[in-house]
Amino acid sequence: MSETKSEAREYVQPVIKAEELDPKFKYKMSKLHGAEKVMVCFQCGTCTADCPIARFSEFYRPRRIARMVQLGLKDRLLLDKALWLCSSCFTCVDHCPQGVEIAGIVRVLRNMAVADKNILPLVYKELATNLMKGGFVYEIPESRLQKRVEQGLPPLPKPNVKDVVKIFEVTGSAGLLEKVQTFAKVESK
Ligand code: SF4
Ligand code: SF4
């Protein structure tokens, strides 16, 4: 994707106020696994040009995420629902000439969004709840199981739900899922 008309739209943003900038944020980020190289991004735009989500989105731009981290626009990043559009395909990681791991940066930011802002897309909560209840992220209907038998496929392994629940409890994820605020639609502010 060339960065032409739709790329230009990303600059139509509210004015950045000086008090929004956290100069320490990029240092904090670069200590976290996956985001270590955020400061060496030189804004070439390769990640945005090759990102399959940016190709179909008016507002999701991985290059912009890297720049916002460098500028210290922490709150804007964490509250931007577009953060949850990344599909973690790692194309940007493979293609970045600086070795910046945008997918890792997005993961770190998402974790912060949940921890600091207490927000999560509804679909993530639903998948995690399914996992905790039944050991699979999707509830598998009886008809699908029957189809496996008809196709001669082996039965699915039985999940150890007790252990899964324990992991959710020990890591604090169970309590977090209970109190987290959800939103249904992923869009830019
Ligand atoms: S490809 Fe790498 S260096 Fe280029 S804008 Fe994206 S993160 Fe920055
Ligand atoms: S990992 Fe995310 S940001 Fe990177 S190319 Fe894939 S969808 Fe785009």
- Ligand 1, atom 6, residue with closest C-alpha: 47
pLDDT for 45 equals 98
Average pLDDT, the chain: 91
Q: Which of 37, 92, 100 for a ligand 1 pocket mutation test, highest count of atoms within 8 Å of Cβ?
A: 100
Could you tell me the pLDDT band of residue 124, with boundaries at 50, 70 and 90? very high
Phi, psi at 121, each rounded to 5°: -60, 145
- Ligand 1, atom 4, residue with closest C-alpha: 44
pLDDT in tens, 1-35: 444 454 444 445 678 899 999 999 999 999 999 99
pLDDT in tens, 69-112: 999 999 999 999 999 999 999 999 999 999 999 999 999 999 99
Is the beta carbon of 109 within 6 A of some atom in ligand 2?
no
Cα of 156 from ligand 1 centre, angstroms: 41
- pTM (two decimals): 0.85
Average pLDDT over residues 155-170: 94
pLDDT for 12 equals 53
Q: Which of 37, 93, 102 for a ligand 1 pocket mutation test, highest count of atoms within 8 Å of Cβ?
A: 102
